[in-house]
Amino acid sequence: MSDPHPHGLPEGASGELPGEPNATGWEPLRAALPALGVLAMMNQKALGDLSGYGELRAVHPGDTVIQEDAEQGRLYIIISGAFDIFSTVDGKEIHLARVGEGECFGEASLLIPAPASASVRAVQPGSLWSIDRDGLSRYLAAHAGGGGALLMGMAQCLAARLRASNDQIISHFMAQARTLTMARTRPMPIKLENTKTEESFFGKLKSSLSSTGTGRKPKIRTEIKL
């Protein structure tokens, strides 16, 4: 007998977008995901198949989706709304990025298990679709074509984030380099050293005439005798 709920959806799931939330605050989703952002390369059938392997959740401003340093193993795709990604250093929040519709986050920890490197907080009302590591593995095993398109979208998301990080790093070091260059090329005040200058010819002549050994300066006659 075939499983009437191949994706593990509970009885009574309405399939609406959104539907009734389950006990965890997430809701099963049978309707196709929107073809945007990281999902843009997937066709409607692939999106419909994928939707059943994950869950949909409504979010409100101020909701923390991911906490920095907490265990994290889910991929999140933004269906609507906007989210801030930030890190905390010495008790101060450092804003890293703002992501919106069609973008994703959490993909790095999904592929390489590790604590979250940053926090994610909702800044607008919206909805998130999420899939965990087990759900992604099952989808990839059952839907090679759609799985390839999904992985390509995730790779593009990672590449875009890496490029943005590189640009920030380059801008930071370029600013430091400009500061150092300006400091080195700033005009320096000219200092005159108290050094003895070389005497002219007439100065040397005067010195030699004055040192006759008698301590007296020789007299130079200026009259002309006939």
Name 128's Cβ contacts closer than 8 Å, sequence gap at least 6: 56, 57, 59, 65, 76, 77, 78, 79, 81
| Alpha carbons 81 and 105: distance in angstroms, whole number | 13
Give per-residue pLDDT as tens, 97-154.
899 998 999 888 888 888 898 999 999 999 999 999 999 999 999 998 899 999 898 8
Q: Which residue has the tokens 């419909």?
A: 48
Q: Is the pLDDT of residue 217 over 80?
A: no
| Alpha carbons 8 and 54: distance in angstroms, whole number | 10
Residue-level pLDDT at 5: 39
Give the single-character DSSP code of 124. Answer: S
Band (pLDDT 50/70/90 cuts) for residue 77 is very high
Q: Is the pLDDT of residue 19 over 50?
A: no
